[in-house]
Amino acid sequence: MVENRRFLNILAHLVLILGVAFVAFPVYIALIASTHGQNDFLSGVIPLLPGHDTIRNYSAMMTQGLASSGAPPLWLMLGNSLIMALSISIGKIAISIISAFAIVYFRFPGRMIAFWLIFVTLMLPVEVRILPTYKVVAELGMLNTYAGLTVPLIASATATFLFRQVFLTIPEELMEAARIDGAGPMKFFWDILLPLSRTNIAALFVILFIYGWNQYLWPLLVTTGTDHYTIVLGIKRMADIADQQPEWNFIMSTVVLAMVPPVLVVIFMQRLFVKGLIETEK
């Protein structure tokens, strides 16, 4: 019995390690590739050990970009992506939490209609409504603007459901106690609902930040000038050139840099997230 379990343990670990290796290997390749000079790829063999051109690659990408494939300097694209990801996550969270607040705590005419309208937006992600949305954005003159990049992605209150569920788990007596304590609706929202939802906000922020950061189709449509390129768009541009070798060292250093912000968000938010999981009690 004991031996048997030990065998299972080893097997389980083996599977896990294989899984991790499977996921981590491409990341490792990217990291290594970003440290080599351009000529190291010509042989067709992907190097597995670090090269000597790390600083040159990264500094070139940060400051100049890859003019040959029409990619602006990375700091610009990273900035754009950051603006986009932050606007989408913050905007969506703000809209969702406020609409959930209205739906759960207020009795107003058309409450159920509002609820169902929000529900419908769940079924209409950008990809589904992309043509009409593009038309609207174009007519409003929002092509090549940050507003054009972000507003259509914000304007669906999908996270409303999440917050509605969160609010429904908060006992009604808490709201009543707050009323007796002289807290009006907005004070209740700021002083009690918001702090109690902070772990959910953190979790949602992680998801939405990555969702915003990874957007490709929409930025591709609404940006024509390089000023508003996002990093994902940039990578695609660089890898996609027609009549020459892709410059893998530069592309991979871009990829590595593009990974950093989402990873940081996950690491930073996870602490809050886990802490919240441990101590949440409503």
Partner 1 sequence: MAAITLESVGKTYAGGVTAVHAIDLAIEDGEFLVLVGPSGCGKSTLLRMIAGLETISSGAVKIGNRVVNQVEPAERDIAMVFQNYALYPHMSVRENLAYGLKNRGVPKDEIARRVAEAAKILEIGGFLDRKPRALSGGQRQRVAMGRAIVREPAAFLFDEPLSNLDAKLRVQMRGEIKQLQARLGTTSIYVTHDQLEAMTLAHRLVVLNGGRIEQVGTPLEVYRKPASTFVAAFIGSPAMNLLQAEVSGGRVRLGGASLPAPGAAEGKVTLGLRPEDLQRTRPGAEGALLMNVAYVEELGAQRLVHGTVGGQSLVCAQPVESDLGDTLTLTADPAAVHLFDAASGKRLG
Q: Which class for 244: exposed (0-12), middle (13-18), buried (19 or more C-beta within 10 A)?
A: exposed
Partner residues linked to 71 by β-bridges: 66
Integer Cα distance of 189 and 184 in angstroms: 9
**Which DSSP state fits 58?**
H
Q: Does 173 bind partner 1 (CB under 8 A)?
A: yes
How many Å apart are CA 121 and CA 102, to the nearest integer? 17
CB 85 within 8 A of CB 258: no
Candidates 55, 180, 186, 242: give the one binding partner 1 (CB under 8 A): 180
Q: Does 6 bind partner 1 (CB under 8 A)?
A: no
In this chain, which of 176, 216, 264, 277 binds partner 1, going by CB under 8 A? Answer: 176
Q: Are 213 and 232 contacting, i.e. CB atoms less than 8 angstroms apart?
A: yes
191 binds partner 1 (CB under 8 A): yes
Judged by CB under 8 A, the residue of 171, 260, 264, 271 near partner 1 is: 171
Query: Residue 93 contacts by C-beta under 8 Å, 6 or more apart in sequence?
Result: 159, 201, 204, 205, 208
Residue type, 199: T
Among 6, 26, 122, 181, binds partner 1 (CB under 8 A): 181
CB-facing half-sphere around the CA of 45: CA atoms within 13 A: 4
By CB under 8 A, residue 169 contacts partner 1 = no
Q: Check binding of 5 to partner 1 (CB under 8 A).
A: no
> Shortest distance, CB of residue 102 to partner 1, whole angstroms?
20
- 168 lies in the site for partner 1, by CB under 8 A: no
Least Å distance, CB 97 to partner 1, is: 16
Beta pairing partners, 72: none
Q: Which stretch binds partner 1 (CB under 8 A): 23-31, 69-77, 173-181, 267-275?
A: 173-181
Decide: is 3 part of the binding site for partner 1 (CB under 8 A): no
Dist CA 282 CA 278 (whole Å): 12
> If binding is defined by CB under 8 A, does position 79 make contact with partner 1?
no
For residue 177, state whether it binds partner 1 (rule: CB under 8 A). Answer: yes
The DSSP element (H or E) to which 222 belongs, if any, is: helix 217-222
Tokens (6 digits) for 95: 């809209």
Q: Give the total of residues touching partner 1 (CB under 8 A).
A: 19
Residue 187 touching partner 1 (CB under 8 A): yes
Please state, in angstroms and rounded to a whole number, the distance separating the CA atoms of residues 225 and 244. 23
Least distance to partner 1, CB of residue 89, Å: 22
Task: Indicate which single residue of 174, 207, 210, 259 sits in contact with partner 1 (rule: CB under 8 A).
Answer: 174
Residues 250-279 binding partner 1 (CB under 8 A) are 279
Q: Which residues of the chain form contacts with partner 1 (CB under 8 A)?
A: 171, 173-174, 176-183, 187, 191-192, 195-196, 279, 281-282
